[in-house]
């Protein structure tokens, strides 16, 4: 199943169950379904959603949707809310069509709260999870640290140095999980991380 904003692995999708299930909305049997318990649905009362499943097609058709935490605020059925003012952005900073597209996108499995990154007035595309070797591989000149610093906001950029064992040149591993996003418009890479 293709998503505009999610190009990670299926195993990175929140509330996805492997194994055949009947979709409670279209009643078709599917190899993969999402648990509907914590989704936006105009079909079921919230209390009736527990223990039910919805398929990819019904998600793409907006029969149910996911809310998302983004770096600009919280996205739900009412729109994108500025978390500081608790108000829907007015004028909108991201177009309605893009808000709908992100709601039709699975959540990312994270340890803390999901934080979907944005760029060029749009949500970025989630590419997957990187470990330190991925930064070396994806850097044009093999300088993984420089790529990491270019992708990571200053307030969370201490991770690289902090994870590097004393006397070691190249970083091989770290404890947290690093989520990578790419801009659909300018291809800028950004990322954030969390841990349990």
> How many residues line the site for Zn ion (CB under 5 A)?
11
Give 55 or 171: the residue with its C-beta nearer to Zn ion.
55
Does 43 bind Zn ion (CB under 5 A)? Our answer is no
Does 23 bind Zn ion (CB under 5 A)? Our answer is yes
Those residues with Cβ within 8 angstroms of residue 39's Cβ, 6 or more apart along the chain or in another chain: 15, 49, 54, 64, 65, 66
CA–CA dist 75, 102 (Å, integer): 9
Does 156 bind Zn ion (CB under 5 A)? Our answer is no
Does 164 bind Zn ion (CB under 5 A)? Our answer is no
Question: Cα dist. 139→2, 144, 168, 176 in Å?
Answer: 27, 6, 19, 20
Does 20 bind Zn ion (CB under 5 A)? Our answer is no
User: Which residues inside 87-106 make contact with Zn ion, applying CB under 5 A?
Assistant: none
Element (H, E) at 58: helix 56-60
In the shown chain, the binding pattern of residues 171 to 190 toward Zn ion, with x for contact by CB under 5 A and - for none, equals ------------x-xx-x--
Those residues with Cβ within 8 angstroms of residue 185's Cβ, 6 or more apart along the chain or in another chain: 119, 120, 122
Give 164 or 183: the residue with its C-beta nearer to Zn ion.
183
**Residues binding Zn ion (CB under 5 A):** 23, 25-26, 55, 58, 119-120, 183, 185-186, 188
């Amino acid at each position: 199943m293709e998503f505009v904003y999610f190009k990670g692995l299926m195993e990175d999708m929140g509330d996805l169950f492997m194994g055949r299930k009947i979709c409670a909305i279209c009643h078709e049997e599917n190899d993969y379904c999402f648990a509907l318990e914590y989704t936006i649905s105009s079909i079921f009362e919230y209390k009736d959603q527990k223990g039910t499943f919805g398929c990819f097609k019904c998600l793409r058709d907006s029969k149910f949707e996911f809310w998302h935490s983004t770096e600009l605020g919280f996205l739900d059925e009412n729109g994108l809310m500025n978390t500081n003012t608790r108000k829907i952005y007015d004028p909108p900073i991201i177009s309605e069509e893009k808000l709908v597209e992100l709601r039709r996108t699975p959540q990312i499995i994270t340890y803390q709260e999901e934080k979907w990154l944005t760029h060029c007035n749009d949500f970025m595309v989630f590419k997957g999870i990187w470990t330190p070797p991925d930064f070396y591989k994806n850097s044009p000149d093999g300088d993984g640290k420089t790529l990491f610093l270019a992708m990571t906001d200053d307030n969370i950029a201490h991770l690289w140095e902090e994870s590097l064992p004393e006397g070691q040149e190249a970083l091989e591993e770290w404890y947290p999980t690093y989520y990578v996003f790419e801009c659909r418009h300018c291809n800028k890479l950004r990322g954030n991380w969390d841990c349990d």
